[in-house]
Amino acid sequence: MKVLVTGGAGFIGGHVVDALVERGDDVVVVDDLSTGSEGNVNPEARLCRVSITDPSLADVFEQERPEVVSHHAAQVNLRRSVDDPMFDAQVNILGSINIIVNCVRLGVKRLVYASSGGAVYGEPQYLPVDENHPVNPVSQYGVSKHAVEHYLHSYAQYGLSYVALRYPNVYGPRQNPKGEAGVVAIFAEQMLQGVRPTIFGSGDKTRDYTHVSDVVRAHLLAMERGNNTACNVGTGVETSDQQVFDAVAEVLGYQDSPLYTSARHGEIQRICLDWSKAQRELDWSPRLSFREGVQATVPYYRSQGGHR
């Protein structure tokens, strides 16, 4: 099967590309490398260095004629979405429309979209959050990610089959510790460099942390199962910032305490995702606990030059 992966030089997209190549698919990566790394692109995949907002994306679709599109490319920095909502909307909404229109034009069989379960719902009314929960994002990033789901729904009438996967906080090897996301990566690198990590708030803010291997498996299943639907992908377990710090510190033998500073505006306080719909429609369930995932992830950051 020929699969076009947008954002395939990024963290999650790169792991999806690896899995597709491993199972024998013909893979084309679309990435402008603005945040991704060419080193993340599997050598068996072809890289087209182009932005999803560029009109020339149509030429890539015309030349490659993919059967399935795996759409990860996005502006993912929540702080930037608050400071520059026009840029956030240009990439996440207009860029996605560019992809969707080309999919419909060339008869792509299916589009799997990386949405956000951590940002689209807003402050939860109950936990774990299921797909019937009201959608009231508090960040511009959450608004832009959810808007694309509406576009996908509207274009289904033209024959485009889609699955939107609402991601939790995904972590694992190759996540960039320089960004604002990726707390496991950030804490691991800071501890390895002897820098005391900073926790924003008191440490009781919670997220649903899911290992990238589980998310990749959900993405591959969604290429074959589910039809015109949105599914949460998560563990259903709340993990606090303090628990993340403690888990990473335990693996690394780090002894210092974290620094605490004021909480950041635009962030919800608690979230975890009900994954039962993904189990019903995609035959997916999470396999790694957070503790197991951290133990499988942190050694990667040590191998990148850490000394502890």
Q: What is the pLDDT of residues 125-158, one digit of tens each?
A: 999 999 999 999 988 999 999 999 999 999 999 9
Look over the chain and give the mean of its residue pLDDT values, rounded to a whole number: 95
Pair (22, 163) in one structural domain: yes
DSSP state, 129? B
Whether residues 28 and 98 share a domain: the answer is yes
Dist. CA 95–CA 109, nearest whole Å = 19
Range of the domain at 255: 173-207+237-272+290-303
Q: Round to whole Å and give the CA distance between 219 and 19.
A: 10
Query: Is the predicted pLDDT of residue 180 greater than 70, yes or no?
Result: no
pLDDT above 80 for 294: yes
3-state helix, strand, coil in the chain (%, to 5): 40, 15, 45
Query: CA Rg, the chain, in Å?
Result: 19
* Res 177: pLDDT: 87
Indicate the length of the chain as a whole number: 308
Q: What pLDDT score was predicted for residue 144? A: 96
Average pLDDT over residues 203-224: 97
**Same domain, residue pair 113 and 260:** no
Q: Is the predicted pLDDT of residue 188 greater than 70, yes or no?
A: yes
pLDDT digits (tens, 9 = 90+) for 71-104: 999 998 878 888 899 999 999 999 999 999 999 9
Note whether 163 and 256 are same-domain residues: no
- Of the chain, the percentage scoring pLDDT greater than 90 comes to 91
State the distance between the two ends of the chain, measured CA to CA, in whole angstroms. Answer: 44
What does the angle CA 145 – CA 29 – CA 140 come to, to the nearest 5 degrees? Answer: 15
In angstroms, the Cα distances linking 284 to 72, 80, 212, 288 are 19, 32, 14, 13
Neighbours of 5 (CB within 10 A): 30
CATH code of 31's domain:
3.40.50.720
Catalytic positions, please?
141
- C-alpha–C-alpha distance, residues 142 and 120, integer Å: 5
